[in-house]
Structure 1
Amino acid sequence: MTSASSPFLTAQQIDAGDLSVAYFDLGDPSADPVVLLHGYPYDVHSYAEVAPMLVDAGYRVVVPYLRGHGPTRFRDDRTARTGQQAALGSDLLTFIDALDLDEPVLAGYDWGGRAACVVAALWPERISGLVSVNGYLIQNIADSQSPIRPDLEAGFWYFWYFATDRGRRGLDANRRDIAEVIWRRNSPEWAFSDAQLNRVARAFDNPDYVEVVIHSYRHRLGLAPGAEIYDELEERLALAPTISVPTITLDGTADGNFPATDGSQHAHLFSGPREHRQVRHAGHHLPAEAPHAFAQAVADVAEPPGDGAGTP
């Protein structure tokens, strides 16, 4: 999809907790809501094709910029620019509250999928369903120093790069180019264009981008403390709470960093109805690479819209 045909033209802004969140609100405001959540290093354009499909199927589709991205801003200069999982989940809950969304379906990947999993696990009564790429994404920070396969460690080079002062300076100086390296590793079969990357890279000009990203990766490795305000939530997340809402998990068979599985390794972490699907030839950026499969998963986990539509 070209920038000229993007559904994301003029962002709205709403105060929600610590943030003034920039977001797009598409479709009938009275329809069943879906919140689509992007990852790192990406932005709302992950859903440039998915969002119109879901609107056409009869849903209200809300797509926010996460903290540190795009026009989303912190409301107070004194607020810690943390990127930890409890902050992402809390942001999402307060955003749902601010828009007064009634039991939305949450759908996301990477950082956005993690925020959705946090809300689904801790506040299941607030949502009606979940779509999550790569399964259960709540981090086990206590086990963060356990090594994984060397070929998979190599794909996470930026985790370790961002743990250094050199990596912090590198991210500040090379936001777009670092994203390009990660995109190519994450999605080896995805032929994205310079125009697509350049469009997304504008979201990295956010003044809090570097601080939020660096903290996210240092915190998940146990190399940086979290903000005290999130201590209680992190303690709850450390217990690996199960997800009870109806869920569809997705793996792309061409994901360069997260090899596709049959979903069994996370089965014990879903206490409600859950289906796992593999999506052929899709990489880590699954909503952009396989928009029909992603939109169908959202429609399948959602309650049918009132007009009887529901198939993207």
Structure 2
Amino acid sequence: MREYDVELPTHIVRVLEWGPEDGPLIVALHGFPDTALTWRRVAPLLADAGWRVAAPYLRGYAPSGIPTDRDYSVRALVADAVAFHALLGGDERTVLLGHDWGAITTNAVAADPASPYAKHVALAVPPLSAMHGWDPALLRQPLHSWYIAYNQVPGLAERSFAWLTARLWRLWSPGYDAAEDLAHLRESVPDRAHAKAVVSYYRAMLGPGIKPALADPVHPLLVLHGEEDRCMEVGLARLAGATPVPGAGHFLQLERPEAVAEKVIGFLA
């Protein structure tokens, strides 16, 4: 694994990279509450297939900087993702891969006719616009989404960040041991300033910057969803046509890396 920094207009971004330096590029975006190291099990498998996987720490997650514009909207995340294509040496083959908030961003980029990416892969969060129809999951989902309201309360999530994030990992991927991931998260969110940045993704959901996440994808998009996910109901993922991954919860790239890599490689082929 290699590490280096690239520069966006608002902050410095730390990038982790696996695979041959001359391989076609996959830009891999992590989610909440997580870090770029969420790809440490899938990326080597993609690298074995010849891909170069570059995983940036998203805005607000150390060692990347806190952006000077304090903008954590989907619109800002999409702008970052588009900029990564050029900054990381992308070409006409380059793929965008995202999990959780990274998936929300990926879905929004896939909805942009000007997306520079050849293909897009979203894990754990299907396009919001694709959830058509009825499923009992629509009634159950609010029970899982309490943390979104929790994160809106000024100061609350920042003060209780360690408790909140440990609870979410335990709830979202039952039976998965997240000790290593939580240790990485503590390094990436070491204080209240970073915690405020990270939970501000949810506070920005209430503003106009959420609009890119509501559009229909127009580019090739693969959606994968863990069959044991307790963050987003599996029934909602089915409504969106997601491909199920058996034996995995919300963090499927960590729980079932071989299965995820196999499906991604098959889609890219």
Alignment of 1:85 onto 2:59? no
Contact 2:82–2:115, Cα closer than 8 Å, also in 1: no
In structure 2, C-alpha distance between the alignment counterparts of 1:261 and 1:287, rounded to whole Å: 20
Q: Which residue of 2 aligns with 1:285?
A: 251
SS in 2 for 1:127: coil
Mapped partners of 1:33, 1:105: distance in 2: 6
Distance 2:75 2:191 in 1: 21
Does the 8 Å contact 2:47/2:53 carry over to 1?
Answer: yes
After superposition, what is the alpha-carbon deviation per residue over 1:171-193, rounded to whole angstroms, capped at 9, x for unaligned?
3233222111011111113233x
What residue number does 1:145 align with? none
RMSD across aligned C-alpha pairs, in angstroms?
Answer: 2.5
TM-score w.r.t. the length of structure 2 is 0.86
Percent identity of equivalent pairs: 25
Displacement after TM superposition at 1:247 (Å): 2.1
Amino acid at match of 2:19: G
| CA gap 1:127/1:181 in 2 versus in 1, 3 angstroms | same
Which has the larger displacement, 98-107 or 65-74? Answer: 98-107
- TM normalised by structure 1 equals 0.75
Task: Indicate whether 1:31 and 2:17 are aligned.
Answer: no
> Are the aligned partners of 1:21 and 1:65 in contact in 2 as well (CA < 8 Å)?
yes
Q: Secondary structure at the match of 2:240?
A: helix
For residues 128 and 83 of structure 2, the distance between their equivalents in structure 1, rounded to whole angstroms, comes to: 19
Equivalent residues of 2:127, 2:217 under 8 A apart: no
Which residue in 2 is equivalent to 1:273? none
In 1, the alpha carbon distance for the partners of 2:177 and 2:16 equals 26
Q: Does 1:173 align with 2:162?
A: no
Within 5 Å, give how 1:67-146 maps onto structure 2.
67-74=59-66, 76=68, 79=69, 81-103=70-92, 104-123=94-113, 125-137=115-127
List runs of 5+ in structure 1 lacking aligned partners: 1-6, 141-147, 268-275, 304-312
Unaligned 5+ runs, structure 2: 131-137
- SS of aligned partner of 1:73: coil
Whether contact under 8 Å (1:246, 1:301) holds in the other structure is no
Q: Which amino acid aligns with 1:283?
A: G
The superposition leaves residues 33-68 of structure 1 with CA deviations (integer Å, 9 ceiling, x where unpaired) of 111111100111211111111111111110110111
- Amino acid corresponding to residue 43 of structure 2 in structure 1: A
How has the CA–CA distance of structure 1 residues 242 and 196 changed in structure 2, closer, same or farther, with 3 Å as cutoff? closer
Q: Is the 8 A contact 1:128 1:302 kept in 2?
A: no
Does the 8 Å contact 2:158/2:195 carry over to 1? yes
